[in-house]
Structure 1
Amino acid sequence: MNSIISVGIDIGTTTTSMVVSRLTFGNRSGFTAIPDISITEKHILYKSKVYLTPSIDENHLDGDKIAEIIKREYENAGIKAEDVESGAVIITGESLLKENAKEISDKLSSFAGNFVVTTAGPDLESIISGRGAGAETYSEQENCTVANFDIGGGTTNLSVFRCGELVDKTCLDIGGRLICYDKDKRLTYVSPRWKSLIRKWFNMDFLINQTKVSYETLKEVTDLMAETLVQVLERDGRKLTEQILTSGARLPESIGRVDVISFSGGVADCIYHPAKDAYKFHDLGVILARSIRESRLMTDYKWIEPRETIRATVVGAGIHLTEVSGSTILYSENLFPLKNLPVLIVSIDAEHAACRGASRLLEEERAWFSRQIGSEKMLLFLKGSGKVSYRELCNLARCLARCADQIKEENCPLIVLTYSDMAKSLGQTIKRYLRRKREILCMDRVKVHEGDYVDIGKPIMNGTTLPIVVKTLVFG
């Protein structure tokens, strides 16, 4: 099999859409080298229309209507569930806060057996949207720093890439549908946070079904939103930014000088292609785009239009199979199979600190990632340890044991993948330091990247090898 059909389904605060793609695989290594199977070509076969995300009320998505949309788009694309061999369902923005978000993502994943299903927290969504918009690739190709603002209905995700490497990210409660109104300009929805902020900053009460808003009033609000985006980029006005920071996100720390700005998300279409009717969508979208066009983001910085704006998301998930050397793995028989493990790439700083016996950075990164994915089940990838001394291995094991002891979910194993050939020794040493009983899986020699998801099957070859499926999110 050299190619597969993959589907990407994106359920955001404002919009829902689907993309069908064909992913082609090839071996980049020579005939005598270890196989390096990767995606060599991606071809978009079909893009659905963009739908307003159906909701039952403020707290629940309408799962039945979302499923109807996807089923209808499968028919429009001319594909059946059995044709699809991999895919990704991503729930982002305020949608992931809905009480039934997990139930709906699981329901949609049944379209095919190899779907990656994830809810992306604010920081993780920033990374996904920045890559999907092409900011990561542009920064690498042009050897520069690119800041991408993904402006949706409920949030704005900022991701900053320097020469292809992510250097910072954050998320703000700034978006096109935080305030909505009917054809008579009477308010039908106001975000609870912005309702209190408007009262505080503008001394106005926005009352549902009572207050009629004017263009000037809405523009005053969106001008403040645009100015906040400038301030977060320039690390100015921290007090103002903190009040609009999305729950679970952090203020950026290492942005530095920015060479280029790009915009993605639904509001981006109105930034690059201005709409004449300010009330076109009965929300803030068009007016917010105007405020941004008039702000210093557009006058003081070079800006580009990315290859994707409203569809800055995954087009599916590619898969490839690899094997793990039996001499360097440690596992428990009752662990398998493991499905859709998100990969956390441990930073070099955290890994080096752990080798010295300091676990704080490692624990903070694991806790942050857990909040982003809504689960403690993940794969920790140690990519930079190289050869370590016995003392360093013991320090690293002790720090990983501390992480394992902090896991609250029952039956949640500690899963570690190492770049260097030390997994079995590391796993055995971790077990010595555990304060509470916890299943451990340590392995090496598997190639993964940030944003990958991993399936691990039952041991084969008389228990000497674990079959690993790495599912890589693929962007359009």
Structure 2
Amino acid sequence: MEPKREITSVGIDIGTSTTKIVFSRLTVGRRYGVSMLPQYQITERNIIYESPMHLTPLIGESQIDLPALQRILSAEYRSAALKPEEVDTGAVIITGETAVRSNANSILHQLAGESGEFVVAQAGGDLEAVLAGKGAGAEAYSRRAAGTIVNVDIGGGTANAAYFNSGSIIGTLNFHIGGRLIMLDKAGTVAKIYPAARQWLNREGLWLQEGEQTDWPVLQEITRRWSELLLENLLKGSDPQACPLIYGHPDLPVAFAREATVTELWISGGVGALMEQAAPRNIAETARYGDIGPLLAHAIIKASEHYPVKLQVAPGAQRATVIGAGVHTLQLSGSTVYADPNLLPLRNIPVVELVWPVQVQDGEQPDEILASIQAAFAAGAIRHGSNEPEEMQFAIAIPEMNSCSYSVLRRIAEAVTGCSRKYKLKLCILICENDIAKALGNCIYLLSQGGQACVCLDQISVAHGDYIDIGIPVDGDYIPVAVKTLVFSSTN
């Protein structure tokens, strides 16, 4: 029986409307692949504590109330009978309109540092979509289901969709659509209209003003149009430039939405949970939570009747994102890594993906190997450069090769060593898809005569634009790695 190790993980979701905390127990097991090298996997994920929903504390319109948020978290740690130092990993994620707050970035990283040993900071609609889809179970369900499963996490400020097919994520799509973008009281007086909603209302010629009473038909018309736009773009595809409510992909036509055969549409988030409540019949019932969430939820149900797709509320709808953050953030490196523990941990390292123009074969195309690596380092220096070259840090993701003989490995090491010297990198960070990290790191060490500090990891899935946090080795065997995004919203 191979030894197993348990890891305690936390997920903290600071959303537009609510803040949630979930603690989980992750079991790490070891298995041996075809190379007979040990590989580490998370074999079990069990939730051990879920907090109640807390209203996200704010100071005025522009800031998150950090002391109030810290009090909420401290109370939940006590309720879970855990101390921050007993938490091994996890994630704090800021979602929806909360990511617009002026102090969102600093608070996110401060809370991550206070919440456990290796708790990472995350933000961004694409990541939120993927985490919610995993937390809701859509990813796992898609492994045995026909067609494509789309999970849409709709909260107070955003709707974030993830497309899953055969257990893989094939695309994401994000909308400024949420239940709390328009806030009102039970008399119909509009208390707040968030900028994304205001811009859309002006474009559509719909009259709605803060401090004034609105009519029931106006709210019905707004939620009807939002629902139709949401489903049309999710299920038929669209150019984001033609739909101002789409954000995050300003230059990319959403081809996967047209090409995917969507068979089921899952709704998670607070709006998903509201679908299971009675439909509102008037303004007072719509505003029972101080916003238009209940009306939006049932407008989506009605709009879905015009599409040949099964609509359902995702299991554990309101906690899907926080479960995903706490349970599905962590990856484990292979056992053959090259890393001096004194160089770790590393946080918020941007990833630059290297692209091979042709499939690199055994010792062939040496010029292409050099050119590809030089291009990746140049891109990293441009995007993530610093006034002080020694402070520049980014990770190069080296994609899979059909074969990697020693001659190919040495050519890669020579190119990496030369580029590291050219850009005066204090630390070279490499993420390899092939199982070559230890050999590549040793080769760089020999070529640089020990002068180039290097961290080489493998068996980690990353993509261009990701950020990674790299933890310290666990039991001398594997290194925990969190792959994430750090994208804060804009009010524009």
Kindly state the Cα deviation for residue 399 of structure 1 after the two structures are TM-superposed: 2.4
Kindly state the Cα deviation for residue 96 of structure 1 after the two structures are TM-superposed: 1.7
Which residue, 411, 423, 442 being the options, matches 1:425? 411
Which residue, 414, 429, 444 being the options, matches 1:441? 429
Taking the aligned partners of 1:196 and 1:30, their CA distance within structure 2 comes to 54
Question: Deviations 1:437-459 (Å, cap 9, x if unpaired)?
Answer: 4453336432113589441669x
Letter of the 1:455 counterpart: I
Q: Is the CA contact (8 Å cut-off) linking 1:456 and 1:466 kept in structure 2?
A: no
Taking the aligned partners of 1:25 and 1:429, their CA distance within structure 2 comes to 36
Q: Is the CA contact (8 Å cut-off) linking 2:183 and 2:190 kept in structure 1?
A: yes
Taking the aligned partners of 2:174 and 2:28, their CA distance within structure 1 comes to 35
Taking the aligned partners of 1:345 and 1:308, their CA distance within structure 2 comes to 35
Taking the aligned partners of 2:238 and 2:334, their CA distance within structure 1 comes to 49
Residues 1:87 and 2:99 are matched in the alignment: no
Q: Is the CA contact (8 Å cut-off) linking 1:274 and 1:289 kept in structure 2?
A: no
Kindly state the Cα deviation for residue 393 of structure 1 after the two structures are TM-superposed: 1.4
Number of the residue aligned with 1:455: 470
Q: Say how many residue pairs are matched.
A: 428
Number of the residue aligned with 1:228: 229
Taking the aligned partners of 2:350 and 2:113, their CA distance within structure 1 comes to 22
Question: Deviations 1:372-407 (Å, cap 9, x if unpaired)?
Answer: xxxxxxxxxxxx967573233123213213312322
Question: Deviations 1:220-256 (Å, cap 9, x if unpaired)?
Answer: 1000100101221244675785211225665522222
Q: Is the CA contact (8 Å cut-off) linking 2:351 and 2:468 kept in structure 1?
A: no
Taking the aligned partners of 1:13 and 1:386, their CA distance within structure 2 comes to 50
When normalised by structure 1's length, the TM-score is 0.79
Specify every segment of 5 or more residues in structure 1 that has no aligned partner in the other structure, as ranges. Answer: 357-383, 459-464
Q: Is the deviation greater in 180-189 or in 45-54?
A: 180-189
- Secondary structure class of the residue paired with 1:312: helix
Number of the residue aligned with 1:44: 47
Q: Is the CA contact (8 Å cut-off) linking 1:27 and 1:36 kept in structure 2?
A: yes
Question: Deviations 1:116-171 (Å, cap 9, x if unpaired)?
Answer: 32232222222222222222221122142111211111111121112222222111
Which residue, 314, 337, 347 being the options, matches 1:306? 314
Number of the residue aligned with 1:415: 395
Which residue, 114, 122, 126 being the options, matches 1:123? 126
Letter of the 1:254 counterpart: F
Q: Is the deviation greater in 297-306 or in 150-159?
A: 297-306
Matched ranges for 1:258-269 at <5 A: 258-269=262-273
Q: Is the CA contact (8 Å cut-off) linking 2:181 and 2:197 kept in structure 1?
A: yes
Kindly state the Cα deviation for residue 176 of structure 1 after the two structures are TM-superposed: 0.3
Kindly state the Cα deviation for residue 192 of structure 1 after the two structures are TM-superposed: 2.0
Letter of the 2:460 counterpart: V
Letter of the 1:469 counterpart: P
- Secondary structure class of the residue paired with 1:79: coil
Letter of the 2:256 counterpart: S
Q: Is the CA contact (8 Å cut-off) linking 2:352 and 2:396 kept in structure 1?
A: no
Taking the aligned partners of 1:84 and 1:62, their CA distance within structure 2 comes to 24
Q: Is the deviation greater in 427-436 or in 402-411?
A: 427-436
Specify every segment of 5 or more residues in structure 2 that has no aligned partner in the other structure, as ranges. Answer: 436-457, 485-492
Taking the aligned partners of 2:35 and 2:363, their CA distance within structure 1 comes to 30
Q: Is the deviation greater in 99-108 or in 15-24?
A: 99-108
Taking the aligned partners of 1:38 and 1:472, their CA distance within structure 2 comes to 15
Taking the aligned partners of 2:7 and 2:205, their CA distance within structure 1 comes to 54
Kindly state the Cα deviation for residue 260 of structure 1 after the two structures are TM-superposed: 1.3
Taking the aligned partners of 2:315 and 2:470, their CA distance within structure 1 comes to 31
Which residue, 371, 379, 389 being the options, matches 1:403? 379
Taking the aligned partners of 2:331 and 2:220, their CA distance within structure 1 comes to 47
Q: Is the deviation greater in 241-250 or in 186-195?
A: 241-250
Q: Is the CA contact (8 Å cut-off) linking 2:148 and 2:264 kept in structure 1?
A: yes
Number of the residue aligned with 1:63: 66
Number of the residue aligned with 2:301: 293
Taking the aligned partners of 1:298 and 1:308, their CA distance within structure 2 comes to 26
Question: Deviations 1:178-236 (Å, cap 9, x if unpaired)?
Answer: 100123321110012322332332342x2222x10222211110001001012212446
Letter of the 2:414 counterpart: Q
Question: Deviations 1:402-436 (Å, cap 9, x if unpaired)?
Answer: 31232244223232244555566324314546875
Letter of the 2:470 counterpart: D
Letter of the 1:404 counterpart: G
Q: Is the CA contact (8 Å cut-off) linking 2:349 and 2:394 kept in structure 1?
A: no
- Secondary structure class of the residue paired with 1:153: coil
Q: Is the deviation greater in 211-220 or in 294-303?
A: 294-303
Describe the shift of the 1:103–1:443 C-alpha distance in structure 2 as closer, same or farther (beyond 3 A): closer
Matched ranges for 1:128-139 at <5 A: 128-139=131-142
Number of the residue aligned with 1:12: 15
Q: Is the deviation greater in 8-17 or in 111-120?
A: 111-120
Kindly state the Cα deviation for residue 306 of structure 1 after the two structures are TM-superposed: 2.4
Matched ranges for 1:324-343 at <5 A: 324=336, 336-341=343-348
Describe the shift of the 1:289–1:241 C-alpha distance in structure 2 as closer, same or farther (beyond 3 A): farther
Describe the shift of the 1:66–1:111 C-alpha distance in structure 2 as closer, same or farther (beyond 3 A): same
When normalised by structure 2's length, the TM-score is 0.77
Matched ranges for 1:73-472 at <5 A: 73-204=76-207, 206-209=208-211, 211-235=212-236, 238=239, 241-246=242-247, 250-255=252-257, 256=259, 257-276=261-280, 277-296=285-304, 299-313=307-321, 314-316=325-327, 318=330, 320=332, 322-324=334-336, 336-341=343-348, 346=353, 351=355, 354-356=356-358, 389=364, 390-410=366-386, 411-418=391-398, 419=400, 421=404, 425-430=411-416, 432=418, 436-439=423-426, 440-442=428-430, 444=432, 445=435, 446-450=458-462, 453-455=468-470, 468-471=479-482
Q: Is the CA contact (8 Å cut-off) linking 2:175 and 2:246 kept in structure 1?
A: yes
Taking the aligned partners of 2:380 and 2:35, their CA distance within structure 1 comes to 40
Q: Is the CA contact (8 Å cut-off) linking 1:318 and 1:472 kept in structure 2?
A: yes
Kindly state the Cα deviation for residue 472 of structure 1 after the two structures are TM-superposed: 7.3
Describe the shift of the 1:430–1:78 C-alpha distance in structure 2 as closer, same or farther (beyond 3 A): closer
- Secondary structure class of the residue paired with 1:142: coil
Kindly state the Cα deviation for residue 79 of structure 1 after the two structures are TM-superposed: 1.6
Letter of the 2:412 counterpart: L
**Alignment RMSD, CA only?**
3.3
Taking the aligned partners of 2:313 and 2:122, their CA distance within structure 1 comes to 27
Q: Is the CA contact (8 Å cut-off) linking 1:180 and 1:283 kept in structure 2?
A: yes
